Amino acid sequence: MPLLHSAVMKVMPHVPKAILWRVAKRYVAGDTLQSAIERLKLLNGRGHPGVIDVLGEDVNSEEQARHVVAEYKQAADAVVENSIQAYVSVKPTHLGLRSSERLALSNYAELAKYCKARKLFLRVEMEDASTTDATLRIFEELRKEHDNVGLVLQSRLFRTPDDIAKLAPGPLNIRMVKGIYLEPANIAHTEPEPIRQAYIACTQQLFERKAFVALATHDAAMGDRCAELAKRLRVERNGYEFQVLLGVMEPLWQTWQAQNHVVRVYVPFGPQWQPYSLRRMRKNPQIFWNVTRAMFGMK
């Protein structure tokens, strides 16, 4: 099955867009901001707060990056106007990091201010390892002026425990993930169990320094171990939450919700859904059957 899965993933970028969309749509609210707002309303109604993400990455001009800032401002306004419980989450290369760190920082600072005025939180996401140093610097700069920002850290990377130790003192809000970008073995764990062990160890390190931790995972056993850790370390229920991706492992959301955990759902939207969906599909061994069903109009 893994061989078949990787063969399918190789042809995926060549699958016609309309067919790809039939499979991708479970991971994405839709093309428009309105589609994301509708989905967030439904999720809020089921007790799930949300995260709103405008899909896109790797913009390579200042003009494009400014346009993305404007899109995020619209998203922030829509969240507030519709009384939705959600915050915004943004990739550094979507705000211009590939062009310049200064540009990305000034865009994040502008958005952080805009969000703060609307009582919204802003998450700085983490992308591939070529961006880690700059992303950490941007986050540390933002934290000096803005108290409504958080970061994502990846347990896959060997460097993450050191990065946690080096973060400046003060309130900290971290989304802990395994890391979706496949990194080389000289800088990252590549096998599932070490990635899991590192995730739990980083979570413990964060809890011990009193950080709020968003446990962003669909790994039920690992999530449960982190919740047990929180209990053992006497972390209050408002000191952490679970975060999940739209379309992934819904029965698990219900299990955690039934245990009185907050389960926040990440809702991406926008026309740039292809690279995001391909990364999600890479994680899903069922993908071959999903694509086959879509090809034959069964989905």
Ligand X SMILES: Cc1cc2nc3c(=O)[nH]c(=O)nc-3n(C[C@H](O)[C@H](O)[C@H](O)COP(=O)(O)OP(=O)(O)OC[C@H]3O[C@@H](n4cnc5c(N)ncnc54)[C@H](O)[C@@H]3O)c2cc1C
Q: Which of 80, 201, 284, 288 binds ligand X (CB under 6 A)?
A: 284
Residue 43 is a binding residue for ligand X (CB under 6 A): no
Site string (53-92) toward ligand X, x via CB under 6 A: ----------------------------------------
Closer of 54 and 62 to ligand X (Cβ): 54
Closer of 60 and 286 to ligand X (Cβ): 286
Residue 280 is a binding residue for ligand X (CB under 6 A): yes
Residue 241 is a binding residue for ligand X (CB under 6 A): no
Which of 210, 136, 135 is closest to 171 using CA atoms? 210
Closer of 49 and 239 to ligand X (Cβ): 49
> What does each C-alpha distance from 121 to 154, 267, 287 come to in angstroms?
20, 15, 34
Residue 44 is a binding residue for ligand X (CB under 6 A): no
CB environment 190-224: b (16+ within 10 A), e (fewer): eeeeebbebbbebbbbbbeeebbbbbbbbbeebbe
Pick out residues in 131-190 that bind ligand X (CB under 6 A): 152, 154, 175, 177-181
Residue 39 is a binding residue for ligand X (CB under 6 A): no
- Residues 265 and 36 sit within 8 Å (Cβ to Cβ): no
Closer of 69 and 126 to ligand X (Cβ): 126
Residue 277 is a binding residue for ligand X (CB under 6 A): no
Q: Tell me the backbone φ, ψ of residue 54, rounded to 5 degrees.
A: -85, 115
| 235 dihedral zone (left: phi>0; alpha: psi -120 to 50; beta) | beta
Residue 249 is a binding residue for ligand X (CB under 6 A): yes
The residues, ordered by sequence, that sit 6+ positions from 271 with a Cβ below 8 Å of its Cβ are 31, 55
Q: For the chain, what is the largest distance between any 2 Cα atoms, rounded to a whole number of angstroms?
A: 55
Residue 219 is a binding residue for ligand X (CB under 6 A): yes
What is the spatial distance between Cα 122 and Cα 280, in angstroms, rounded to a whole number?
23
Q: Which of 243, 267, 268, 291 binds ligand X (CB under 6 A)?
A: 243
Tell me how far, at minimum, the Cβ of 217 lies from ligand X, in Å.
Answer: 3
- Sequence letter at residue 289: W
Tell me how far, at minimum, the Cβ of 90 lies from ligand X, in Å.
Answer: 10
Q: Which residues bind ligand X (CB under 6 A)?
A: 125-126, 152, 154, 175, 177-181, 216-219, 243-245, 248-249, 266, 280, 283-284
